[in-house]
Amino acid sequence: MPEALAASPPARPLWKTFGLFLGPLVLTNMLQALSGTLNNIYVGQMLGVGALAAVASFFPLLLLFISFVIGLGAGASVLTGQAWGAKDTGKVRAIAGTVLYAGFLLGVAIGGAGMWLAEPMLLLLGTPADVLPQAVAYARVMFATLPLLFVSMLAAAVLRGVGDTVTPLLSLGVSSAIILVLTPALIQGWAGLPALGITGGAWATLAANAASLLWLGVYLRRRGRPLAPARSFWRQLRLSPDVLKPVVRLGFPTGLFFITGSLADLALLRLVNGYGSHATAAWGAVSQVMAYVQFPAISIAIAASVLAAQAIGGGRLQQIDEVTRIGLGMNLALTGTLAVLVLVFSRAIVGLFITDPQVVALAASLLHITVWASLIFGLASVFTSVMRASGTVLVPTLISLGCLSLLLFPLGWAFSQTFGLRGIWMSYPATYAVALLLQTTYFFVIWKKKPIYKMV
């Protein structure tokens, strides 16, 4: 199947190609989130609330460091997509070699520093003293997993650049299955394995990433894929400044977007905490639900970026408008349908996370306000992704970062003065609506009049 998504003009309609690319990508994102959720359930049920709090204390740090790799992967997907569209397999291998090597070195650097500085960083985050030793132990093992984790994420990004979303899904399936079986075994010491307690989940993650990368290499070689780790591929595992520079230029804004969004969310959380523990619990439940609602929107943006990049690389510029229309339509259909379902079944969905009737009612009412933000976010992301595929990065990035940094928190504070707690959540759809208006205006009024379709 992935070979059918190659550079030559597809025999099937583009919307079918888009859908074939998108389906496994959505499943991959959902499986990634579900794996993490179930891992937390293991820790909480087997080791108690203190252990779960220790794991949660490390989570913000992990998100921060992964943001850089998400950005690098976004740039790699665009560059790979253009090279694949131009049928330049040599360049595809060069991009893969540079990106994977850079990701490994970055993982070694961050992982090594993190193992050394785990305790000071967790103290800086205000980790409670009673869970600090467990949090430090867990963090140090998780930092050791970063080199392999970064390589896994970047390998998936490069494969998506050549139109293959099935192989990353299968690889993640291998990793997730190992984590789900090995985590409880290492926590409790089943089947003769050592009882590692809270670090059992981290060691399971390390083993799973190593096994999935090994499986990926064997799978690609057996299928005879261009990115299989053959002798010629290993020679290209080196840092090429000519390749790395455009990857970083394209990907840095995406990473910065996720970092800025995380910081803005933390600022809003401080406002929410002022309304008491019920409000904080509702925030947690709403955030969990919204993460799943946003998966289609994020996946559609990735698909639009890759397919637009392949079209540009293959000289099929007439497909750019079609990719944009399909991306917008799929957002309305998929993300919109999911938003309606969440709206209708909000109480039942929130009840999966919390049991207090008051908090359930509060969280359900907040979902009614904020669920539409995902749809608006998805529409704006299609425009930014298509423009990024052409090498247009600066203005779309300034719009996105400007709205997150200059509107989200001020609007949350201002709305809360009039509407109370619910006003904080109103800031999300309001901020994304402004971003959508600005991105749409720039796309049609400026970029479309003089588009720059270039290989980067």
Based on the fold, state whether residues 316 and 267 are members of the same structural domain.
yes
> In this predicted model, what pLDDT tens digit does every residue of 321-377 receive, in sequence order?
999 999 999 999 999 998 999 899 988 887 766 667 887 888 889 999 999 999 999
pLDDT beyond 90 at 257? no
- Is the residue at 5 inside a domain? no
Neighbours of 357 (CB within 10 A): 10
Selection from 55-64, 117-126, 224-233 with the highest mean pLDDT: 117-126
Based on the fold, state whether residues 232 and 263 are members of the same structural domain.
no
Based on the fold, state whether residues 211 and 349 are members of the same structural domain.
no
Q: What angle do CA 268, 431, 31 make, to 5 degrees?
A: 75
Based on the fold, state whether residues 274 and 329 are members of the same structural domain.
yes
239, 267, 289: which is the final residue of a domain? 239
Least confident of 16-20, 121-125, 343-347: 121-125
Based on the fold, state whether residues 272 and 310 are members of the same structural domain.
yes
204, 239, 274: which is the final residue of a domain? 239
Overall domain count for the chain: 2
Based on the fold, state whether residues 260 and 144 are members of the same structural domain.
no
Q: Tell which residue, 251, 272, 152, 131, has the closest CA to residue 206.
A: 152
Based on the fold, state whether residues 195 and 271 are members of the same structural domain.
no
Based on the fold, state whether residues 169 and 122 are members of the same structural domain.
yes
> In this predicted model, what pLDDT tens digit does every residue of 25-61 receive, in sequence order?
888 877 777 776 677 667 766 776 666 666 666 666 7
d(CA 37, CA 41) in angstroms, rounded, equals 6
Rg of the chain's alpha carbons, rounded to an integer?
22
DSSP 212-263: HHHHHHHHHHHTT-TTS--HHHHHT-S--HHHHHHHHHHHHHHHHHHHHHHH
Based on the fold, state whether residues 44 and 137 are members of the same structural domain.
yes
- Is the residue at 4 inside a domain? no
218, 239, 260: which is the final residue of a domain? 239
Distance in Å from the first CA to the final CA of the chain: 27
Q: Tell which residue, 39, 4, 62, 100, has the closest CA to residue 262.
A: 62
- Is the residue at 168 inside a domain? yes
Q: Would the pTM of this model clear 0.85, i.e. be above it?
A: no
- Is the residue at 277 inside a domain? yes
Based on the fold, state whether residues 42 and 185 are members of the same structural domain.
yes
Based on the fold, state whether residues 211 and 271 are members of the same structural domain.
no
- Is the residue at 73 inside a domain? yes
Question: Residue 46's domain spans which residues?
Answer: 10-239
Neighbours of 320 (CB within 10 A): 21
Tokens standing for residue 97: 């070699």
Based on the fold, state whether residues 343 and 398 are members of the same structural domain.
yes
Q: Torsion angle, CA of 428/430/431/432, rounded to 10 degrees?
A: 80
d(CA 431, CA 447) in angstroms, rounded, equals 22
